[in-house]
Amino acid sequence: MVDAGDVSAEWDRNAENWSESIAQGFDHINDLFGVPFFLDALGDIQNLDILDAGCGEGRSSRQLSARGARVTGVDVSAKMIAEAVSKESQEPSGIIYHTVSCTDLRNFSAGSFDLVTSYMAFMDMPQLNLVLRECYRVVRSGGRIAFLVRHPCFFTPGFSIYPGKIGEGGGLRVTHYFFEKPYQERWGFRGMADDSSDDSFVVTRFPYTLSDYVSMMTDAGFGITTLLEPRPSKEICSRLPKLSFWQRHAALYLFIAGIKP
C-alpha cells in the first residue's frame, strides 16, 4: 500500500528538478492554460485566508498571494517546501509554508480558512477521502473548497496519444478507467501530444474516477457548486499549438468547487 511517506520520498527526489523546471517556465500548458483558468474560476479572493493543499514548490501559493489572499501552503514533501521557502525568501509575499500531510492537518484548528485550494495535486494523494474530511474541518462555515486535477476520464493508467489519423489531428486511447491500484508514471514537461518525452519525474498516480471525486466531496460534507471541464480557446491554441489536440479530442482538466454549509 502506498502511503504519505512513499509519496513524500518520491516528491523529495523530484523537488530540485521540478522547482527549476517551473522557474525556467518549462510547464507551458499549466502556465498558459491551467493556472489562469483556475485563478479565474476562483473569482475574487482578495483578503481571504487560503490553505493551498499540496502546494509543492509554491507556484500556486504565489499566484494566490498575488491576487491579494493570505496564503498558507502545505505539502508532504519537505524538499518541495524547502524550495517554496527559498523562493519566498527571495521575493517575500507573506506566504507561510508547512511540511505536513493533507490527511492530518492537526496544525490548524477547525474553521481556520475561508477557502481551501489544490492545484493539480489531489490525483497524487493517497487516502483522498481523509484529505477532504480534513479540508472540511479547517474551512469555516460558508467557506469553500476548489481544486483542479487531470481529467480522470482521459488520463487513465492505460491512456496513450495517437498523433496520426484517428479523427482530425490524431486521437486518444483510454483504458483501465476502473483500475483501483496506485501506479507509477514516468514523464517530463515535454511529451504532451506532439513532443518527444523527457522522462524527468517519477510520480505515483491514484486513479480516482469522476464519481470518486464527487462522492468523496459529498461524503466529507461539502455541497458541490461547480464542476467544469475547461477547453482551451483558439487564441490559446495559437500561442501553444500542442493544445489544439486537447481542444479537439478531450478535456485536460477537471475543476470541482464546493461549499461548507
pLDDT at 193 over 50: no
Domain ranges of the chain: 4-151+208-259
Q: Which residues contact 3 (CB under 8 A, 6 or more apart)?
A: 126, 127
pLDDT at 192: 43
CA distances to 12, 232, 233, 256, 258 from 210, rounded to whole Å, are 29, 21, 24, 10, 15
List pLDDT tens digits, range 33-72.
Answer: 999 999 999 999 999 999 999 999 999 999 999 999 999 9
Q: What is the 3-state secondary structure (H, E, C) of the chain?
A: CCCHHHHHHHHHHHHHHHHHHHHCCCCHHHHHHHHHHHHHHHCCCCCCEEEEECCCCCHHHHHHHHCCCEEEEEECCHHHHHHHHHHHHHCCCCCEEEECCCCCCCCCCCCCEEEEEEECCHHHCCCHHHHHHHHHHHEEEEEEEEEEEECCCCCCCCCEEECCCCCCCCEEECCCCCCCCCEEEEECCCCCCCCCCCCCEEEEECCCCHHHHHHHHHHHCCEEEEEECCCCCHHHHHHCCCHHHHHHHCCCEEEEEEECC
Residue among 213, 39, 24, 70 at smallest CA distance from 131: 213
List pLDDT tens digits, range 130-174.
Answer: 999 999 999 999 999 999 999 999 999 989 988 765 455 678 899
Q: CA-to-CA distance for 61 and 39, rounded, in angstroms?
A: 11
pLDDT at 226 over 50: yes
CA distances to 105, 126, 158, 221 from 101, rounded to whole Å, are 7, 10, 28, 20
CATH, range 4-151+208-259 = 3.40.50.150
As a whole-number percent, the residues of the chain with pLDDT over 70 amount to 93
Q: pLDDT grade, residue 6 (50/70/90)?
A: confident
pLDDT at 220 over 90: yes
